Structure formats: C-alpha cells, structure tokens
C-alpha cells in the first residue's frame, strides 16, 4: 500500500510547518537572547557612564571646595595683613609722636627731671612685680647716663 500523493503532500506540509515552527521558535530564542544581551550590555554601559559622570562631578565639587578654601584663606590672610599694617602704622605714629614729645620735654629743664624721676619709679615698680630678680638689670648710675641724666638720678637718690 502506497501512500498517495495527497498524503505525501500533506505529510510534507506538516513537516514543513513543523520545521518552520522550529525555525520561528529558534529565531525567537535568538532574538530574545540578543535582546537580553543587548539590555545587559546597555545597562553596563549606562552604569559605566553614570559612574564616570558621578566621578567627574565629585572631582569638580572637590575642586570648587578647594578653590573656596583657598579664597577664604587668602581673604583671611589679607585681613590679617591689613590689621598688621594698621597696627604698624599706628605704632609708627605713636612712636613718632613720642619722639617729638620727648624732644620737646627733654629741652624743658624744669619738667624733665620730674618726668625722669616718675619714669624711674615706674621702672622700679615693674622690677618689684617681676618674679625673678634676674628679669631686670640695674646699671650703676654713672655707667652710661649723660650728664643731665646723672643729675636726675642724683635727685632720685635723695
């Protein structure tokens, strides 16, 4: 008993449908696997780029913070320098004023001895306030003193 052409055709169509179905399933598997691999690779690349971007902005933030600290330090130093300059200018003006007053007072033979006596008393008080006698050195009255200073020291001794 032979198979009729119709049955052969039917079996061939059935086999072709089966092969086509298998091919479609295999193609779908390949597509699904390719899609999955694509998504994995895409996710990896996206994560890699996110990490790079985050590192870039963290680096920029650190640079900005460093610049801010440098600027703050510079401003603080400029303020300190201005303060020191103002202090130095004031000290110079006070010293200049004292120098002028000293020249004026030292030429006044009536006031100079009493001022000198008062200054010597202050020096003695400072010497008594010191903790150690070695903190203050007293020189003999005739050691380095000019003539008019020796007279004033003589007045102080009496």
- The rounded distance, in Å, linking the Cα atoms of 120 and 115 is 9
Q: What integer pLDDT is reported at residue 143 of this predicted model?
A: 45
Better-predicted residue by pLDDT, 118 or 61 = 61
Please say whether the beta carbons of 82 and 124 come within 8 A. Answer: no
Quote the pTM value.
Answer: 0.46
Return the domain boundaries, the chain.
1-82, 110-158
Q: Predicted confidence band at 135 (pLDDT cuts at 50, 70, 90)? A: low
Question: Mean per-residue pLDDT for 126-135?
Answer: 65
Q: Predicted confidence band at 128 (pLDDT cuts at 50, 70, 90)? A: confident
């Amino acid at each position: 008993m032979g198979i009729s052409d119709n049955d052969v055709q039917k079996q061939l169509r059935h086999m072709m449908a089966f092969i086509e179905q298998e091919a479609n399933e295999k193609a779908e598997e390949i597509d699904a696997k390719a899609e999955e691999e694509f998504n994995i690779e895409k996710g990896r690349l996206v994560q890699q780029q996110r990490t790079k971007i985050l590192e870039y902005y963290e680096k920029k933030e650190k640079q900005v913070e460093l610049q801010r600290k440098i600027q703050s330090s510079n401003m603080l130093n400029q303020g300190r320098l201005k303060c020191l300059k103002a202090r130095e200018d004031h000290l110079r003006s006070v010293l200049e004023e004292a120098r002028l007053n000293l020249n004026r007072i030292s030429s006044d033979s009536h006031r100079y001895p009493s001022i000198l006596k008062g200054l010597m008393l202050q020096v003695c008080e400072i010497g008594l306030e010191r903790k150690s006698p070695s903190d203050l050195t007293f020189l003999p009255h005739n050691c380095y003193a000019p003539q008019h200073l020796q007279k004033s020291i003589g007045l102080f001794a009496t």
